[in-house]
Amino acid sequence: MAKIIVYHKPTCTTSRKVIKALTEKGVDFEKVNYYETPFTKTKLNDLLKRMKKKPSDILRKKDKIYKELDFKNKKYTEKQILDLMIKHPDLIERPIVQKGAKVILARPPETVNEII
């Protein structure tokens, strides 16, 4: 059986809820803090493809950096958004949960049940 990997930010409330739910259910999983182990462009692009999403689909719009980069008024391409996500991981919605080939964005936290 494929191991579950949770790509998260430890201070994120939703990430903590997903990790707590997996722990309470006794699920064996690995946590990857993508601030300590940053995504490569290849890895993030692979996760996006498995989710069938574009970078703009998982863009975190409530973060300060989103406003600083003026996303509302600038027209960034998907490639530019991916590059910005690598440079500024706060732009990535979280947590991303992977089990084998299946990958989901676990928002709301209950959606993690789809993968376990």
The residue annotated as part of the active site, out of 6, 12, 77, 108, is: 12
Distance linking the first and last C-alpha atoms of the chain: 11
Q: Which amino acid is at 89?
A: P
Q: Which amino acid is at 78?
A: E
Q: Is residue 29 flagged as an active site residue?
A: no
- Residues 104, 116: contact at Cβ < 8 Å? no
Q: Let me know if 29 is exposed, middle or buried by CB neighbors in 10 A (0-12, 13-18, 19+).
A: buried
**17: which 2 tokens?**
């809820």
Catalytic residues: 12
